[in-house]
Amino acid sequence: MRQNVSDTIIVIPARMAATRLPGKPLRQIGDAPMIVQVWRRAIEADIGRVIVACDGAEIASIITKEGGEAVITDPDLPSGSDRVAAALAQIDPDKNYGHVINLQGDLPEMNPHMLSALNTALNTGHFDIITPVAPITAEEQPLEQVVKAVVSWPDGDITQTGWALYFSRAPIPHGGITDADISVTTPTKLAVMWHHVGVYGWQRAALERFITLPPSALERTEKLEQLRAIEAGMRIGAIAVDMAITGIDTESDLQAAAKRLKT
């Protein structure tokens, strides 16, 4: 592994008390526990230092045995964002890291290139937060668990960083054209609905401000944390990626991911 020379750090929040899939971080996927698979994807991105922010020694010991770094944080923290910020306060009180990527601990199929693209957009400094979006399929549109993003792209060019205006569990924008076969490598002015991928790159100052804010009205309504940032006036940038990556929430999700990772 290279010596870190980046001011970006990847922090992976993980906790054992998952409601729908207890002990989720340590469930086996392929040849390793889920949290190890996610950690490997972060290391493969080769952005900089990678930390697992966990809620106890059980996860920490697994990561350290793999040669990684883990920080134990308060198990009662209310969100992954709070856990990331708490870990940063422990390991980097002098704030040498100005950019933070919050990579959820249930994304073992994360594409390392997506993390690299996220980091590139984050380093431009034009947005407080950067997050990926992918073209949505017709089957995904009505699903509440699929979060939709409304994005304004500069000159209709989805190869640039767009401005995420809103997120919802409803199929928005109304009348949006969907085309799951759109290539994000070619500029287009075609309006599409976007599937939000829940990974965030933060300017550190924005993250530190965010965790001091109470849940906002829209956040409580939609049950989407990122709306707190929008209501607080923060700018969220969006990068277009070819395919959405979803988290592991159920036993069937786990088994399906294990099969895909074997192929």
CA-nearest of 2, 205, 256, 259 to 85 is 205
For 215-243, write each residue's pLDDT tens digit: 999 999 999 999 999 999 999 999 999 98
What's the mean pLDDT in 167-180? 80
When pLDDT is cut at 50, 70 and 90, the band that residue 253 belongs to is confident
Tokens at 232, concatenated: 């607080």
Q: What is the pLDDT of residue 217?
A: 97
Q: Is it the case that residue 182 has pLDDT exceeding 80? A: no
pLDDT tens profile 108-138: 999 999 999 999 999 998 999 999 999 998 8
* % the chain with pLDDT above 70: 92
Average pLDDT, the chain: 90
Amino acid at 38: V
pLDDT in tens, 75-116: 999 999 999 999 999 999 999 999 999 999 999 999 999 999
pLDDT at 176 over 70: no
Domain at 1-110, CATH homologous superfamily: Spore Coat Polysaccharide Biosynthesis Protein SpsA; Chain A (3.90.550.10)
Could you read off the pLDDT of 187-214 as tens digits, one per residue? 554 558 999 999 999 999 999 999 999 9
Whole-number Å distance between alpha carbons of 123 and 116? 11
218 backbone dihedrals φ, ψ, rounded to 5°: -70, -35
Q: How far is CA 117 from the centre of its chain?
A: 13
At 4 the pLDDT is 43
Give the gyration radius of the chain's Cα atoms.
Answer: 18
Could you tell me the CATH superfamily of domain 126-197+204-244? Spore Coat Polysaccharide Biosynthesis Protein SpsA; Chain A (3.90.550.10)
**Between 28 and 5, residue with greater pLDDT:** 28
**Window from 68-72, 146-150, 179-183, 229-233 with minimum mean pLDDT:** 179-183
The string of pLDDT tens digits covering residues 21-34 is 888 999 999 889 99
| pLDDT beyond 90 at 146 | yes
- Ramachandran class of 144: left when φ > 0, alpha when ψ lies in -120 to 50, beta otherwise: alpha
Return the percent helix, strand and coil in the chain, to nearest 5. Answer: 30, 20, 50
Same-fold call for 1-110 versus 126-197+204-244: yes
Q: Is residue 105 a contact partner of residue 78, using CB atoms and an 8 Å limit?
A: no
Q: Tokens representing 218?
A: 């829209």
Per-residue pLDDT at 180? 52
Indicate if the pLDDT at residue 251 is higher than 50: yes
Nearest CA to 246 among 234, 260, 233?
260
Residue 263: per-residue pLDDT: 55
pLDDT band at 5; cut points 50, 70, 90: low
Residue 114 dihedral angles phi and psi, to the nearest 5° = -65, -40
> ∠134-231-119 over CA atoms, to 5°?
40
pLDDT given at position 57: 96
Residue ranges per domain, the chain? 1-110, 126-197+204-244
Q: What is the DSSP string of 185-226?
A: TS-------EEEP--EEEEHHHHHHHTTSPPPHHHHHHT-TH
